[in-house]
Every structure is written in structure tokens, then in C-alpha cells.
Amino acid sequence: MDHDSLAMLEDTLRKTMLAATGAELDAALVELGWIEMVSEMPEQAVPLVFRLLGETGSQASILNDLVLRTGGRELDSTPPLPYAGNAWVVWDSAPTAEHTALGGLPLRWVEEGEAIRLAEARRAVSWWLVGSSRAMLALARRHALDRQQFGRPIAGFQAVRHRLAESLVAIEGAEATLGLPGVDNPDLTALLAKAAAGKAALTTAKHCQQVLAGIGFTAEHDLHHHVKRVLVLDGLLGSAKELTKKAGAGLRARGSAPRLANL
């Protein structure tokens, strides 16, 4: 897909996600050709769609489609997904109100699951975290430019600028990790990308909450939606803390670190 077509697709997807969420968005994405996109152009479709889910604050059950497709299974079931702390959850396509407690996502706990291929799903959730991080940073930046203190915008204060800069560095680092070629070590690069994206999202949430101060806690402001969302997404398919430890243990057992990028 050429640049202009991709830009047009992004614009259409963004408008769709801003207008719908949940089951309604699931249906809209199917109508827009999500199944065909993830089958024919996954390298473009997955980063684009999941990043936009984060930026718009919307949600859809398309992670199920990705897990089932990469596992060679029919797209008509709801696979249990691993969660931080050796727990398991399922993403209900038609949830009840009691299942929406996890960051506004229709997840519910289940007792156990089975081993599934996680590399592609981890990369997808990583892009979702990156999108949410950029949404939080945009909210904090706008507040810093608009909020006046001592006769000037708080964006001019060094402490505020440092928090926003550290957030941006973390986000860009996560995106760079997602850009690593995963041909030789797909599981390791996906694991590291998920860890980096989770860490970046948590760092961004902390700094943006500080910049926004009290208003960021209120129900009237959008920040708390993104903060709750990234707290849940960080744990989905393994938290940043757990995955970092897992990567370290694997490298220690191996006795060497593979070359993941040519610097």
C-alpha cells in the first residue's frame, strides 16, 4: 500500500474509532476489511490499527483475531490470554457490566489457559501501549501550554519540560524497539518490545499525571481513561517487570546475547 493510500486508511480508521467502540467497533472494522488487512498486510495493518486504538482511547476485540490467526485456529472462539502474576483472562466479545472493570476493557478472569503463540500479539499490544502513551503526552503538553502560573505557561518551567521530555524519550525508545527486525529472534524481540512499551507507558502515565496535577484525576478529564488502560495493557501478555526478568534469565542461561540490530 502506497503512502497516500495508507494515510487515507489511517484517517478513516481514526474517524471510525472516535465514533465507535466495543462490539460496534468490531463490526465496523470487519466492514473496513480488518480480516483481509491482517492476512494480506500485517506489517502495516497491525501497527496502524493498534496504535490508533491507543491514541483514540477506543477498544475492540481484534486481539483475539490476531491470536487465533497466528495459532492457525478458526476466528470463532475466545482464547484465554496470559496475564501478569500467572493469571489468565479472556476478552469477551459480548461482555456484561461486571466484566468491564479492567481499564474499561471487557476482560474477565479465568482459572487457566493453554500455551499460545505470543510474539505477534505482544507486538500488537505494544503498539496499543505506544498509542496510549502518545495520547497521554499530547494531553499533558496541551495542558502545559494552556496553564498559566506566575504569569507564564507552565511549559516554560524546567521541571515540567523534563517530565515531558523523559516521556517522549521513553515512547521513542519503545517504538525503536518495535522496529527491530524479528526474523532471527521473533519471540525475544517481541518480548523486549512489550517490556519497553509497558515501561514507556507507565513512565508517561506518571509524568503526565504530575504535569496535569489534580485535574488529571478527575472524571471530566480524559487522562484517567488512558492511565487505567495502560495499567491493564501492561499486564496483558506479561508485564514490563516480568518480561524484563524473563529476558534476563534467558540470556543468562544462554550465556550470550544475540545481535538484534546493527548499530
| pLDDT tens-place values along the chain, 263 residues long | 788 999 999 999 999 999 999 999 999 999 999 999 998 999 999 999 999 999 999 999 999 999 998 877 777 788 999 999 999 999 886 655 555 557 789 999 999 888 889 999 999 999 999 999 999 999 999 999 988 888 889 888 999 999 999 999 999 999 999 998 876 788 999 999 999 999 999 999 999 999 998 888 888 899 999 999 999 999 999 999 999 999 999 888 988 888 777 66
Alpha carbon separation from 18 to 103, 143, 191, 240, 255 (Å, rounded): 18, 21, 30, 28, 48
Let me know the angle formed at the C-alpha of 208 by 207 and 213, rounded to the nearest 5 degrees.
100
Domain extent, residue 220, equals 119-254
The answer to whether residue 227 sits within a structural domain is yes
238: left (phi over 0), alpha (psi -120 to 50) or beta: left
Domain count, the chain: 1
Instruction: Give the strand pairing for 148-149 and 152-153.
Output: antiparallel
Distance CA 168, CA 200 (A): 9
The reply to whether 43 falls in a domain is no
Taking each helix axis from N to C end, the angle separating 240-254 and 186-212, rounded to the nearest 10 degrees, works out to 150
CATH of the domain at 189: 1.20.140.10
Q: Is residue 240 assigned to a domain?
A: yes
Residue 168 lies in a domain: yes
Residue 167 lies in a domain: yes
Task: Give a yes or no: residue 71 inside a domain.
Answer: no
- Going by C-alpha positions, the residue among 182, 29, 77, 175 that lies closest to residue 37 is 29
Q: Residue 242 falls within a domain, yes or no?
A: yes
Q: Is residue 215 part of a domain?
A: yes
The 3-state DSSP class for residue 225 equals helix
Q: Which helix (H) or strand (E) holds 110?
A: strand 107-110
